Structure 1
Amino acid sequence: MSRRPGNPSRRLVDGGGLPFVGTIHSKTRSSPFLTIGLVLGAMLLVGFCYHQSGGSRNDLEAVSRVEGSTSCTVEVQRAIPILKKAYGDSMHKVLHVGPDTCSVVSKLLKEEDTEAWGVEPYDLDDADASCKSLVRKGIVRAADIKFPLPYRAKSFSLVIVSDALDYLSPRYLNRTLPELARVSIDGVVIFAGYPGRQKAKDSELPKFGRPAKLRSSSWWIRYFVQTSLDENEAVVKKFDQAATKRSYRPACQVFHLKSYS
């Protein structure tokens, strides 16, 4: 879902050179120490811009905010330690549903005592070698989530979905959400985008078939009530406590639903 942004440091160069050049020339004779300081400052500024442009995967979420978009799939990866605190043993057998699920599954499999599977709602034609390996092993599979999931009831302790429900109309949500609850034992975690944040660039819309329909928290809560899906208040409290302790602030809306009894 997420794409590596262009390098913000280009704005320093395209504007006609580094912003301190004129100052450097005018002060060279009178203050060589000032010249050296300004040059070092300019180099640090360029380095900072490069780092923010994607030098580290941990900065991806921050960069996406600047561009006006947020990948909830990336957010799932950031939230794994918080989810483990909130769900405990329920993180033993996890299904992730959403685009770029291979990255989430790969990270979950690195966690101790955690089994993970994934469902990619779109094609996997451009998947990398690591993802194709997960597909060959049957750990990750492509499936249209508008139809019944290819799993038996209560196959997973926890189901996590991101960057997928935002693209479904209520008609298909009525089918997909009950399916997610059906295959889970201890709950469903939904990572949904906030209204006003663009989820896909125009060039990506053909892949998704429709633009994201970002809903408010009140919309989702009304929808859960109408479809008899209850929020897990006990888990919500644990999640919030763990998030506060770790100074974690989700860039997406996070909902915790109970499975069907």
Structure 2
Amino acid sequence: MSRRAVGSTRRNGSFPFSGAFNSKSKSSPLLPIGLVVVGAILLIGYVYKGSGVLGGAKVVSRVDGDFSCTLEVQRAIPFLKKAYSGSMHRVLHIGPDTCSVVSALLKDEEIEAWGVEPYEIEDADRTCRSLVRKGIVRVADIKFHLPYKAKSFSLVIVSDALDYLSPKYLNRTLPELARVSSDGLVIFSGFPGQQKAKVSELSKFGRPAKMRSSSWWIRYFVQTSLEENEAANKKFEQATSKESYQPSCQVFHLNSYH
């Protein structure tokens, strides 16, 4: 977030009543010190507010320079529940660190959740290992056929996965996501300019993330015969506006194939 430069607009001799203050400086030595202290307090308060510590500013989750839309999915769950209401009973999440999203969804007793991790899980915690052992989370290459029957899930949510696919593989993956969903598909994608993976992690993802604009995605959806879910999009926007929540990722609501 851009911050206004806080600087002094009063220089020595430029203030019209500087002479009056100078004449009393010996009798009131604490006045300049007090002004400096007050100014410092105001400056610190402004900086903290701009960074989101005091609220009112959007806090962007970053780890070592990486940007995560998977964290954004967890923040958006309450708004997705309002947008999809009855369609949140069987949910599939696809993306790196899907265990965290599935765990968050399963806290709601009315939601059944599953996950697909597109890459090998390294250093998985006990909870994630348990989800994999139970078959709730699978490790699968999403560039190919997904191991689910058509319309197995009411809602499919994907994050931090499509940004790493070339159009060649998107042509396979997007129709598959729509195939296994019955009521809708939600895509969380990074904005152009956001960083997703460091060079050291390219061996895992295969290629650097490609941050595409919303206009690119919209054209691509049209080409693949995927239509916007206008009703869900409207409800989602209404729910987020009431809470002054601004997603840090692009969020696309699409209809499933009929």
Instruction: State the TM-score bracket (shorter-chain normalisation).
Output: 0.7 to 0.9
Paired with 1:188 and 1:99, the residues of 2 have a C-alpha distance of 17
1:235 CA drift (Å): 0.8
Q: How does 1:158-177 map to 2 (within 5 A)?
A: 158-177=155-174
Gaps of 5+ in 1: 1-29, 54-58
CA drift at 1:60: 11
Q: Which has the higher strand share?
A: 2
Larger radius of gyration: 2
RMSD: 2.6
- Partners of 1:70 and 1:252 within 8 A in 2: no
Q: TM-score, normalised by structure 2?
A: 0.77
TM (norm. structure 1) is 0.76
**Overall identity of the aligned pairs, in %:** 71
1:62 match: secondary structure: coil
Letter in 1 for 2:60: A
| Matched pairs, number | 217
Aligned with residue 257 of structure 1, among 231, 254, 257: 254
Question: Which residue does 1:153 correspond to in 2?
Answer: 150
Change (3 A) 1:149 1:110: same
* Whole-Å separation in 2 of the counterparts to 1:99 and 1:61: 21
- In the alignment, structure 2 segments of 5+ residues that lack a partner are 1-28
Identify the structure with the greater helix proportion: 1
Q: Is residue 125 from structure 1 mapped to residue 125 from structure 2 by the alignment?
A: no
Alignment partner for residue 62 of structure 2, among 61, 64, 78? 64
Q: How does 1:75-86 map to 2 (within 5 A)?
A: 75-86=72-83
Q: Assess if the C-alpha contact under 8 Å between 2:52 and 2:59 holds in 1.
A: no
Task: Tell me: CA distance 1:240–1:260, structure 2 relative to 1, closer, same or farther (3 Å).
Answer: same
Aligned-pair CA distance for 1:64: 2.0
The structure-2 alpha-carbon separation of the partners of 1:204 and 1:52, relative to structure 1 and needing over 3 Å to count, comes to farther
In the alignment, structure 1 residue 223 sits paired with structure 2 residue 199: no
Contact 2:58–2:246, Cα closer than 8 Å, also in 1: no
Q: Secondary structure at the match of 1:187?
A: strand
Give the deviation of 1:203 after TM superposition.
1.8
Which amino acid counterpart does residue 237 of structure 2 have in structure 1? D
Give the residue type in structure 1 aligned to 2:248.
Answer: A
Structure 2 CA distance, aligned partners of 1:88 and 1:78?
17
Task: State whether residues 95 and 158 of structure 2, in contact with CA within 8 Å, keep that contact through their aligned partners in structure 1.
Answer: yes
Query: Residue 60 of structure 2 aligns to a residue in which SS?
Result: helix
Q: 1:245 aligns with which of 242, 246, 254?
A: 242
Name the structure 1 match of 2:14: none
| Aligned residue number for residue 7 of structure 2 | none
